[in-house]
Every structure is written in structure tokens, then in C-alpha cells.
Amino acid sequence: MNEPFKNLIAGRWAGSANTSLNINPSNTNDIIGEYVHGSVEDLNDAVAAAKAAFPVWSRSTPQERYEILKKVSDEILARKDELGRLLSREEGKVLAEGIGEATRAGQIFAFFAGECLRLGGEAIPSLRPSVGVEITREPVGTVGIITPWNFPIAIPAWKVAPALAWGNCVVIKPADLVPGSTWALVDIIHRAGLPQGVLNLVMGRGSVVGQAMIEHNEIHAISFTGSIPTGRRVAAACTAASPMKKVQLEMGGKNPLIVLDDADVKTAVEVAVNGAFFSTGQRCTASSRLIVQTGIHDDFVEACIERLKGVVVDDALKCGAQIGPVVDQSQLDQDLKYIEIAKDEGGKLVFGGELLKRVSPGFYLEPALFTETTNGMRISREEVFGPVANVIRVKNYDEALAIANDTEFGLSSGICTTSLKYATHFKRNSEAGMVMINLPTAGVDYHVPFGGRKGSSYGPREQGAYAKEFYSNVKTAYTRA
């Protein structure tokens, strides 16, 4: 086997005694590489390097930062096919989605390269004579970034790019399961000419590296995407620290998609199947609760089943595959557990839910669709994070809206309708951070804010110009002439 992929600490690739194997979920005989597991000392060294780099980087010019971010964007986009392939190989989303995600990462860097040139402020007259007030933004310091396995390049990109654009230093810990795409991204950024220590990569376990990161008193802000229980621990550690850290959390979803009687069935089926099952349902924005009005219910369910029969589940790298494998054995166990729970609760499995055999050994699961479920069942309340969705039958729009909002989550929501009245009402009254009309709840633009409310998110929004709320601190300066 080749040399292990190393951590980047203070501008140097650093080895470690511990490593783990990055395994292809479409073919468990295919080992992508060996990646080092950092220690608490590695994390401490990375934070010290970030601190040392901060005085120079935080005072770099917008032009300097623009050029580096633009160069990163150019290389990602030039290598999108190769990076997308690596991503699909390690995470299991199909190649078109892998390349799409790599492209999105390149576009995000281009967007934030532009943001470097748009760092504005405000000048406001004071209440007092001869006094002026200036409102400016400054970098926060060292930002700790903890990313999940389901978007191995886009999420690291949408956290690292604004951090750097606003002049922060970064320590990033990617998900243990899929370090390859983040390693490739960090390599690109490193070679784009970033001063040493500005960006540090410490791969390894959440319980070791992540824990040390949230406890380190020289990390000033933590941006985390992952599960609710871990997110709670991150927030608790950030607010228990002295000084308290800024914290931004993106966690789970149990996103409702309403289908009203007046919806176009074809559109609704495409929206539902894409939102619930593409990317193997492994998106926090997945449409896992399908809330369907009684008049369209049977036609919709029947058309969904027909559509699902035609969906090809196979090796993510295989031409024609539309849904890849589940990411690993433990996620597959969780998906199967919830399929059993839904059956035990009285849900009717109308399609899928079976393990599938393919040429290569992998974690293949047929998308599972349940009907006859209620919103009180665990299948409606808990995030599965797999290709499992359930249909809840409702009488009318009011009941649909009440059920859509009856959840501890609030990330994304959707409605399929041809009625302007219901679409408008839903936009206004859905208790979610993102609302989609005749569109899947998953699959977002990169230039606008991303985030939810209630149990799904905490802290300022990610992405777009709104990212500056987290990645910069506001300063108010008063001047007497």
C-alpha cells in the first residue's frame, strides 16, 4: 500500500502512529487509501500554528485573499471529474452527483473569492454633534470546522471558503469515514499559496480530535454539521469555555413534503423521489415525510411505486446507476432498524426495503416507501438518514400544514401545488429555514443562506453573503472630528 495521507499542520504534511482505511461502500474490497488519525497533540500543534499565522493573514489584502480563493476554484473546476470520482468512490453517491458536488465546491470558492472584494462596512451619523460612527467587520480568529460524511467536499468548501475570505485561520476535522475529498481540497488550497498555518487539517476521531477542538481555549468559533446529540455537546462545550466560543450548528431534519390534491402528479412524484431517495436519502434536507392529501393519495403512491421500480441502485461509479449504496454497515443497520420499526408500528411497506446484491460487495438497499403511517410514529419523528420515506394521509391543507410543523426539526420543507394561495400561505407559515414550492426539499443554491430552525440548526446561517455573520465580528467605532 502507498504511504498514508497525512495531516497538514503548520504548512507541513505530518504523519501519525494511527491510521484508518478509507473503504469504498460500493465495493468493500476497494480501499481508497490509508489516512492518518491525529492525536490531541496534533490538534494542539494545529491551533498553535493557526494562532501564529493569524496576525499576518488577518491583515492580508482583499486582493491577496481573492487570488488564492480564485486559484482554488479554478483547480477544483479543472479537476471536477477526478474529484467527483474520488467523492463517489468514498461516499457512495452516484458519479453525476459526485461531479456535481465537486463543481459546487469550485463555485463556492469562486463566490467567496468575490466576497473578499466586497467586504463593506457602514458609516452612520452619531446622535451627538461632530461624531461619526463606523461599523466594520473583522476576522474572528481561529475557526474549528467539523464536517459530516455525506457532503465530503461541498460542506468543507462552504465552511472553509468564507472563513478564509474573512481573514480567519482554520483547523478542519473531516468525517472519519470519508477523509479523502477533504484531504484533496486541503492539498489544493495549500498549493494555491496560502501562508503556512492558515489552514490546518487534522483527520481522526471525533471523540479525540473533535473533542479536543471544542475544548481548546484558543479556538474562537466552531462550525459543525452532524447529528443532534453531537451538536448539543458541541454547543455545551462552546458556551462552557472561557471565553465562550461562537458556534454554528447544522443538524438533522425530518423534512415534510406536502402534496395537495391540485398538484401535478408527475411533478410531485419527481420531487418526492428525488428529495426522499437520491443521494441514498443521506441528506439532512431529504424529504422523509410525504404528507399527501386524500384525493391524490392513491394516484401519487401508485406513480411513486412505478417510478421507484425504474430506479437503478448500483455501484456509484457504474454508468446508469441512479442511487448508490448506503455509506457503511452501521448506517445500513440503522436504516434496516427503522424499516422494522415502521412495520411494527403498523406502517405498510409498499415498495423496497430489501438488501440488494450487486456484482461487487457493498451496502445496497432498495429505497423503502411506507404508507398508512401517522405523524406520531417514530418513523415520522426520528431522522433515519437513509432511503426510507413514509406517506401520511391528510384531509386538507390545514391538516397538512399542522402535521408539517409538528416536528422537533425545522430545516427544509416543501409543497407540491398549483395553487398560488396555498403556496403563498405555506411559504409564510412553514416553520422551516428553507421552503420549496414544487421543488425537492434537498438540493440548494450555493449563493443564498442555508440553515434551519428549531432542533435542526443553531447560530447564524451558512453560505452566501450571510456567512459573514458567523465568520466575522462586528466592530462599532466612534470618531469625534
Residues found near ligand UN1 in the complex (CB under 6 A): 148, 150-151, 225, 250, 283-285, 442-444
Which three cell numbers, joined as nine digits, stand for 214? Answer: 471544542
Write down the least CB distance from residue 444 to ligand UN1, Å.
4
What's the rounded Cα separation, in Å, for the pair 216 and 233? 14
Write down the least CB distance from residue 441 to ligand UN1, Å.
8
Which three cell numbers, joined as nine digits, stand for 417? Answer: 401545488
Which three cell numbers, joined as nine digits, stand for 243? Answer: 471565553
- Verify whether residue 250 is a known catalytic residue: yes
Write down the least CB distance from residue 151 to ligand UN1, Å.
5
Which three cell numbers, joined as nine digits, stand for 343? Answer: 412495520
List of residues 6+ apart from 250 with CB closer than 8 A: 224, 225, 226, 231, 284, 411, 450, 451, 452, 456, 457, 462
Nearer to ligand UN1, 163 or 192 (CB): 163
Write b or e for each residue in 430-461: b if 16 or more Cβ atoms lie within 10 A of its Cβ, otherwise e.
bbbbbbbebbbbbbbebeebbbbeebbbbbbb
Write down the least CB distance from residue 46 to ligand UN1, Å.
24
Nearer to ligand UN1, 169 or 222 (CB): 222
To 10 degrees, the CA torsion angle through 421, 422, 426, 428? 10
What's the rounded Cα separation, in Å, for the pair 213 and 222? 8
Q: Point out the catalytic residue in the list 101, 115, 250, 270.
A: 250
Nearer to ligand UN1, 151 or 409 (CB): 151
Nearer to ligand UN1, 116 or 442 (CB): 442
Q: What is the DSSP-derived secondary structure letter of residue 450?
A: B
List the 472-480 sheet strands across, edge first: 122-125, 131-139, 472-480
What's the rounded Cα separation, in Å, for the pair 323 and 315? 8
Write down the least CB distance from residue 214 to ligand UN1, Å.
19
Give just the sign of the alpha carbon dihedral 232, 234, 235, 237: positive
Region for 107 from its dihedrals, namely left if φ exceeds 0, alpha if ψ lies in -120 to 50, beta otherwise: alpha
What's the rounded Cα separation, in Å, for the pair 57 and 164? 9
What's the rounded Cα separation, in Å, for the pair 156 and 109? 11
Write down the least CB distance from residue 346 to ligand UN1, Å.
29
Q: Which residues does the annotation mark as catalytic?
A: 250
